[in-house]
Amino acid sequence: MTQPVSKTSVLAGMTSRALVITGLVVIVAACLPMVLSSYQVGLATEVLIFGVLAMSIDILAGFAGRTSLGHGAIFGVSTYVVVYATGQAGLSPWAGFALGVLAATAVASIFALLAVRTSGVYFLLLTLALGMIVWGVCLRWTQVTGGENGMRADVRPAALMSHSAFYWAVLAGAVIVSFAMWRFVRSPFGLTLRGIRDSESRMRSLGYNVPLHLFIGFTVSGIFAGIAGGLYAMFNNFVSPSTVALAQSVEGVLMMIAGGVGTLFGAFVGAAAIIVLENIVSSYTERWLMVLGITFVLIMIFAPEGIIGKLRAITSRKVR
Amino acid sequence: MDRRQFLKNTTAAVAAAGVGAAPWRSAQAQASPIKIGLLAPLTGVVASGGKEMVEGVQFYLDQVKNEMGGRKVELVIEDDASNPDTALQKARRLVEQGNCHMLIGNLLANTGLAVANYVKGTGTPYFIPIIAADDLTQRARIKNVIRVAGYSASAFTHPFGDWALKQGYKKIATISQDYTFGHEQCGGLAQVFTEGGGQIVQQFWHPLNTADFSPYLGQLADLKVDAIFAMETGADSTRLIQQYASFGLKEKTPLLMAMNGTDQSVIRTMGPECEGIIAAAHFAEGSDVPTTAKFEKDYEAKYGKIPSLYGFSMYSGMMWIDAALKKMGGKVEDRETFIDTVLKTELDNSPLGKTVKFDDYGNPIYDVYIRKVVKRADGKYWNVPIETYPNVSQFWKYDPATYLKQPPYSRTFQGIKKT
């Protein structure tokens, strides 16, 4: 008798169970604007945008074993370029968006060139330093970036003015981008990244060009961070150095960790957990940062594999 | 009384109460509280100033027993974390979820500009007693963003430049934090001073949170200028004043500062090193004008410290809004009328000490004090006015239309007259 393999559906190699779950989640997400207030829809939009950012970090952290502290800067470069292109240079929002993603990709590739030969804590520090450079440039180059005050522009296209319309657009974008990232990490190329994570020397001795693979992986993840940054520009119509600051990168990494490293979609859960927590707790106490900190400590102690990771572990135990 | 009878009686009583309560309830609905959303940085780099902002607002509400324009006030406080992204999110929350009738607050210009950009779309009245970015009442005015009891950054350094000329100063050097608030304040002084025949010898721009000023102070000492103008906020200001004194510059060259440099939030903890510094401002806590003195005394009695710019500005801002609400019977829901009424309202009896009104661009016209830090009888230091420039416009003596044609002050444009 042959081994019972899970049925693979026609759609891009998803199991039918995964397909059903994904479909349900997307439908529920699409219905949210009908039950939530406009402010909550705004929060949900933010969750999606930061979810995409956290996911782009997860490509590197979860699959190539390299945690980047520079993705907030890549994200923010896109935000800056989109706001600048539409506000100062007078381009259409869509052209601005494309330019933003392009700029983020370019910055990511520069980061990648410098960082791919390192790993572990050196990779962390190098990406951190590169991110700080971007932040410094945004802060000091007052003529272009507006310095501390930042820049304002009406970036959001007229068709997406209402909260719900914009939410649906971001949701559609997030679904497409998530699918692309999921395909990316499951592709043969993605498998080589995992190989590099598990043993760099073995991959090298098997004849793989490790730095090149990491370079491509980093750059691709930069594209996705750039898309998130472009959406954030449309969401806020505003950008300031705090968007490219270290805190932004750290927040992205924390969201990824809270959701579960290497789970990819955990990023959305992590983003939701952090953003919702931030907003609820801060309205009760000004010590909300402390509550957030304690929550992280608890997550690290009781669910070091993240929220999604923990759930997966529990469900698979039950199945057995 | 048996059970049946009891039920009958209570039902009747409840019904009667209900009928009696109904009209009262609908009256209540009409006079539902005015909801004010207060955004203040309670965490982050300027948290101490943020707390004083909240104090200022609460101090006012306590005095009016939580009632403005004949209606109860519900104050919702949100922390903007000194971060524009957070400020934006909290503003959304206050407007869309909290249904606040108006927003007030923010300290850092970047947080204020982010919120201003947001309320441009929603039309919510937004009051900025602290945000000093020039262009909000000049080149990029938003109608529903109103500077009650606030000021535009260069408004006080214009007369300050004039005052420096009158002292006979010929050469001035400036040192300032490198961001818009600094560029604007230095620009105001530099333009008036150089147009009156003075010379700006050199300008130093340093990043925020500079721990050590010695490289700058060394260069400043070598310049042999008649006075030094410094624009600093918060901890930078404390450090500059201390190091200025310990480098021995204090005895040689008079130090002029932007008003925030010698604000109570800075000099409250300082000793003789801050004595004698001159600044220009619309508020001097050591003024003997009765309303100012009374405010200072009451505030100090309540909070145990001399009021800073933050407490004072928020207090006066609330007073201004209240004055407008009284005029229109508290009908805050009618936004257009509310905004117009505020802009037309003149503020009497405020701690400012004099009736204040808005100019055509929504910036208040103040008497500007040249004030000096002196020691009070109890050993604390405070700012005392030594000279007054009455009715100073944000455009100084320039024609507004011509003034607005020049670019906003920046690191590259300081309005310095070319000789």
Amino acid type, B265 = S
Q: Tens of pLDDT along A248-273?
A: 999 999 999 999 898 888 899 999 99
Quick check: pTM over 0.90? no
Ordered structural domains, chain B, with CATH: 34-127+290-353 (3.40.50.2300), 154-287+367-405 (3.40.50.2300)
CB within 8 Å: A148 and B97: no
Report the share of chain B in percent with pLDDT over 90: 73
Outline where B31-145 has alpha helix (H).
47-63, 84-92, 109-122
Provide, as residue numbers in chain B, all residues whose Cβ is less than 8 Å from the Cβ of A50: none
Distances (CA, A) of B197 to B167, B170, B234, B408: 13, 8, 32, 22
Length of chain B: 419
- The residues spanned by each domain of chain A are 16-244
Q: d(Cα A74, Cα A68) in Å, to the nearest integer?
A: 11
What value does the mean pLDDT of chain B take? 89
Strand duo B102-105 + B34-40: pairing: parallel
User: What is residue B46's predicted lDDT score, i.e. its pLDDT?
Assistant: 83
**If you measure CA to CA, which chain A residue comes closest to B81?**
A286
Q: Are B129 and B104 in contact (CB under 8 A)?
A: yes
Tell which of A79, A156, A167, A242 to mutate to test the B interface (max B CBs under 10 Å): A242
Contacts of B110 in chain A (CB under 8 A): 148-150, 240, 242
CA distances (Å), origin B231, targets A225, B178, B204, B238, B395: 38, 10, 10, 12, 20
Which residues pair with residue B36 across a beta bridge? B75, B102
Name the residue among B78, B85, B109 with its Cβ closest to that of A236: B85
Report whether pLDDT(B254) > 90: yes
Distance from CA of A265 to the nearest CA of B (A): 24
Task: From B367, B198, B353, B202, select the one nearest B281 (Cα to Cα).
Answer: B367
- The tens digit of pLDDT for each residue in B69-120 reads 999 999 999 998 888 999 999 999 999 988 999 999 999 888 999 999 999 9
Reported ipTM: the value is: 0.79
What percent helix, strand, coil does chain A show, rounded to 5? 80, 0, 20
Q: Please, which pLDDT band fits residue A319 given cuts at 50, 70 and 90? A: low
Is the pLDDT confidence value at A12 over 50? yes
Name the interface residues of B facing A (CB cutoff 8 Å).
42-43, 78-79, 83-85, 88-90, 92-93, 95-97, 108-110, 113-114, 117-118, 133, 178-180, 183, 207-208, 410-412
Rounded Cα–Cα distance for residues B251 and B215 (Å): 19
The residue in chain B having the minimum alpha-carbon distance to the alpha carbon of residue A156 is B121
pLDDT of residue A191: 93
Contact A76, A248 (CB under 8 A): yes
Q: Is A249 on the interface with B (CB under 8 A)?
A: no
